[in-house]
Amino acid sequence: MADAQQLGYEYVAGWITLKVHSSLAAVGLTAAFLRALAQQNTSCNVVAGYYHDQIFVTEDDGSRRWLF
């Protein structure tokens, strides 16, 4: 979309959606996934949603098959 609008950007991300129904009040679910990514030397950015969290990783890491 940014290309079509001729907008500049610096970061292209892959997107991991945690399809586990969770609550914003829940503690620990996202931390467990982030710990697993860190063990694989993968950095990420997290957006917490009301029902599902979104984890953004580098484009190269986004094309990997993730098994947790």
Over the stretch 19-34, which tens digit does the pLDDT of each residue have? Answer: 777 776 777 878 888 8
Residue whose token pair is 């710990």: 35
- Residue 53 CA to residue 23 CA, distance in Å, equals 10
- Residue 35 CA to residue 55 CA, distance in Å, equals 12
Residues 21, 65, 39, CA angle at the centre, nearest 5°?
Answer: 80
User: In the chain, pLDDT over 90 holds for what percent of residues?
Assistant: 7
At 67, is the pLDDT very low, low, confident or very high (cuts 50, 70, 90)?
A: low
Comparing 41 with 27, the larger pLDDT belongs to 41
User: In the chain, pLDDT over 70 holds for what percent of residues?
Assistant: 85
For residue 59, the one-letter residue type is: E
Q: Calculate the alpha carbon distances from 11 to 28, 40, 50, 51 in Å.
A: 28, 20, 25, 26
